[in-house]
Structure 1
Amino acid sequence: MKLVVRYRCGECRARAGLLYLGNRSHVLETPCLLLCTRKGLPTFIPPDLLPSIHPDALALHASPLHFFDSPSAKTLASAGGLHKLISLPGYTVAAIARDFVCIAEHGSSNKIGASFQTPFGRRTVKPVDYMDVINAMQPDIWASLPDEVPSWVTHKRNKQSVERTLNWLDSCISLKKDGMESGLGCIVGGNSVEERGFCAQEVAKRDVSGFCLSGFGLGESAEERGLLLEAIMKNLPDEKARQISGLDLPEEVLQAVSAGIDVFDSTYPHSLTMSGLAMVFPLDMEECLSGRTSENANDVGSDFTKINLRAVAYRNDTSPILESCRCYTCSKHTKAYINHLLNTHEMLAQTLLDIHNTHHYMNFFQAIRNAIQGGYFADFKAWFASRRQAVNEGILVSSAA
């Protein structure tokens, strides 16, 4: 895995470039988004529709912890890896655990255990079990497991999380197959700036291809997150990619991009889809400031960022979710049709809504890359943050009013 940084923001650490992955000749433009999946496939979007979602929708996020039951590591290995099992050879697969993980007391490698919740109860696995799954998946990107802690734990527990995570990483490195790409080393430390910085220093000394910033979105404030990211980034080499888990909201993504993050995994589009919500926040700063972009303030359930398509008001609304959107859903269907599907509990509703939400979120990442390449990322971030703050305070006024 090789990262080539092509553009930088002069006012922060934000950067844009190309991420080359192994022998598969896969190239991702960064900052980029890994699509949320269940065991390799998006929950609501069938494989034949994946190419139509967005030109940049080329990378899939799959948690290796989901392959300890069915399909098993043996089944994956027999199929020739996850790419062949899901019949998507042209896509990038990233094996990174998003589940909340706790690693047991460290010791010799055969005594370490990572505990996580499954539909069948809590399960504990050893490093050798974990690496069996990783080796069977044959992913383009993989990460070690972190010992994650919420923001309110003691300093002693933060220090302990670092020790356990480093010990697990060392075990994984020793167990990876010859010729296999080195994985991402997890950086933890909870809400401790000191431990986050120390963990980053230690992981950077290991044989890793990049870094996975874990344990975010577990109770820290935006201000605290900024300090933690700063402590981490100043201890990481510039030439290796950084990935982060746990940040979903657009303003959280912008904060991480400005700190120097390259790769994101997010359940945000999926979460909105599950609630019958559609993204509608504007992405073109110039059009919005000039008043050429229409707002959705008059839509029922709108907070200027998303609308509730279950609302009765959309029963006869024959307009698309967004007039300017070029996704399959907005090109073919209306709010009234999706409202009907949602309220009659047709699964097609989630499919169409997930297509739109994923497409819009991918456009958000494209707007971020354009802003970095165009040299106006700081202005874009400030504009976006001011709009979100106005929404939260209830003071944003429709341009049509």
Structure 2
Amino acid sequence: MWSPFGSVFVKPKEYMEMISSLKPNLWASLADEVPAWVSEKRNKTSVDRTLHWLDDCLALDPAGGANILGAIVGGSSIEERKRCATKVAMQNVSGFWIGGFGLGESMEERPALLNSVMDSLPEKKLRQISGLSLPEEVLQGVAAGIDLFESTYIYHLTLGGFALTFPLDIVERDIMHSQLSDTGSDCTKINLRATIYRKDTTPIVENCSCFTCQNHTRAYINHLLNVHEMLAQILLEIHNTHHYLAFFHSIREAIKGGKFDLFHRRFIDGRRAHVTSAVPCS
């Protein structure tokens, strides 16, 4: 691991002492994550290292694994993903932390990789994933059976001056004929640094109940961004966090109502409609 004094070699015993001192309710074992393009040999090594580290941590854990999320990796290999998931599922852990996604695999090959992991895990234990954060990726993960997402999406979105604007009432509206596109938009977010918003006196999203939308306009945030005022990031993060959490609420409601597949399909159809439309984006 890296410290203020450079790299430091930490053994499982020292690592478990640090974890114990923090007294977390839940924590994930470390994983050797690798990108999708590594060799088969390197991928296998990453799985072996991840499994050995979990074994060592469990042997030293006084709680016997009651608070541990076992790490699962495997890169772009279905076989290695399945091998890792199967072995971790046999351990006495409280749930699973699934890593190695968002590191080069395509959207098309991801479902098979996710399913190879999910099919090997017990249904009643928590499943957390890292690396999936875009709305369409989240929906892909939920469809596969993911419970919890670890993401820095909102932070990086806000840092870039972007605001989430995609509709949340997807099941109720006709997504193909709704007003989804906006100048400087990709159908999910808008770039509030764009000149077009300099005189836009509307809120980021109409009828949004967040503090930012209730009190400020796109034009004001555009001004703050362009003069490099710190308040811009604060107001943007308030809205983006509110919108992203509302997105997850909509997903839960769709699941409760048995309409998740419709929700998922309409969201993706809306994205495709935007990509194939003739409306230019800046």
TM-score of the superposed pair, with normalisation by structure 2: 0.92
Checking the alignment, whether the CA contact within 8 Å between 1:390 and 1:396 is kept in structure 2 is: no
Checking the alignment, whether the CA contact within 8 Å between 2:175 and 2:266 is kept in structure 1 is: no
How far 1:348 moved relative to its partner?
1.1
2:55 alignment partner AA? D
- Alignment of 1:153 onto 2:38: yes
Alignment of 1:69-88 (within 5 A): none
Question: Which position in structure 1 is the counterpart of 2:219?
Answer: 336
**Structure 2 regions of 5+ residues with no counterpart?**
none
Q: Distance in 1 between matches of 2:3 and 2:113?
A: 30
Q: Distance in 2 between matches of 1:290 and 1:226?
A: 24
Question: Which position in structure 2 is the counterpart of 1:317?
Answer: 200
| Partner residue of 2:189 out of 287, 298, 306 | 306
**Structure 1 regions of 5+ residues with no counterpart?**
1-114
Question: Which position in structure 2 is the counterpart of 1:388?
Answer: 271
Question: Which position in structure 2 is the counterpart of 1:219?
Answer: 104
How far 1:272 moved relative to its partner?
1.0
Checking the alignment, whether the CA contact within 8 Å between 2:32 and 2:50 is kept in structure 1 is: yes
C-alpha distance 336-128 of structure 1, shift in aligned 2 (>3 A) = same
C-alpha distance 291-223 of structure 1, shift in aligned 2 (>3 A) = closer
Q: Distance in 2 between matches of 1:194 and 1:159?
A: 10
Checking the alignment, whether the CA contact within 8 Å between 2:58 and 2:65 is kept in structure 1 is: no
Q: Distance in 2 between matches of 1:313 and 1:330?
A: 18
- Which one has the bigger helix percentage? 2
Question: Which position in structure 2 is the counterpart of 1:140?
Answer: 25
Checking the alignment, whether the CA contact within 8 Å between 2:175 and 2:267 is kept in structure 1 is: no
2:12 alignment partner AA? P
Question: Which position in structure 2 is the counterpart of 1:188?
Answer: 73
| Partner residue of 2:86 out of 175, 194, 201 | 201
Checking the alignment, whether the CA contact within 8 Å between 1:182 and 1:207 is kept in structure 2 is: no
C-alpha distance 332-123 of structure 1, shift in aligned 2 (>3 A) = farther
Question: Which position in structure 2 is the counterpart of 1:358?
Answer: 241
Deviations 1:271-326 (A, max 9, x none): 110000100011112443078964452xx312221111112222222211011211
How far 1:182 moved relative to its partner?
2.6
Q: Distance in 1 between matches of 2:80 and 2:97?
A: 15
How far 1:179 moved relative to its partner?
7.9
C-alpha distance 178-201 of structure 1, shift in aligned 2 (>3 A) = closer
Q: Distance in 1 between matches of 2:243 and 2:59?
A: 41
C-alpha distance 309-121 of structure 1, shift in aligned 2 (>3 A) = farther
- Which one has the bigger strand percentage? 1
| Partner residue of 1:326 out of 209, 216, 229 | 209
How far 1:237 moved relative to its partner?
0.8
Checking the alignment, whether the CA contact within 8 Å between 1:146 and 1:214 is kept in structure 2 is: yes
Question: Which position in structure 2 is the counterpart of 1:374?
Answer: 257
Checking the alignment, whether the CA contact within 8 Å between 2:25 and 2:67 is kept in structure 1 is: no
Q: Report the 3-state secondary structure (helix = DSSP H, G, I; strand = E; otherwise coil) of the residue aligned with 2:173.
A: helix
Q: Report the 3-state secondary structure (helix = DSSP H, G, I; strand = E; otherwise coil) of the residue aligned with 1:202.
A: helix
Checking the alignment, whether the CA contact within 8 Å between 1:280 and 1:296 is kept in structure 2 is: no
- Alignment of 1:174 onto 2:59: yes
Alignment of 1:19-38 (within 5 A): none
**How many aligned residue pairs are there?**
280
Checking the alignment, whether the CA contact within 8 Å between 1:287 and 1:293 is kept in structure 2 is: no
TM-score of the superposed pair, with normalisation by structure 1: 0.66
2:95 alignment partner AA? G
**Which aligned runs of 4 or more in structure 1 are off by greater than 3 angstroms?**
117-124, 177-181, 290-296, 392-397
RMSD: 2.2
C-alpha distance 120-269 of structure 1, shift in aligned 2 (>3 A) = farther
Question: Which position in structure 2 is the counterpart of 1:274?
Answer: 159
Q: Distance in 2 between matches of 1:231 and 1:265?
A: 20
C-alpha distance 395-385 of structure 1, shift in aligned 2 (>3 A) = farther
| Partner residue of 1:346 out of 192, 216, 229 | 229
How far 1:153 moved relative to its partner?
1.3
Q: Distance in 2 between matches of 1:147 and 1:199?
A: 12
How far 1:174 moved relative to its partner?
2.1
Checking the alignment, whether the CA contact within 8 Å between 1:280 and 1:307 is kept in structure 2 is: yes
2:90 alignment partner AA? K
Q: RCO higher in 1 or 2 (8 Å CA, sep ≥ 6)?
A: 1
Checking the alignment, whether the CA contact within 8 Å between 1:282 and 1:288 is kept in structure 2 is: no
C-alpha distance 293-330 of structure 1, shift in aligned 2 (>3 A) = farther
Deviations 1:168-202 (A, max 9, x none): 00111122244883300001111111111111110
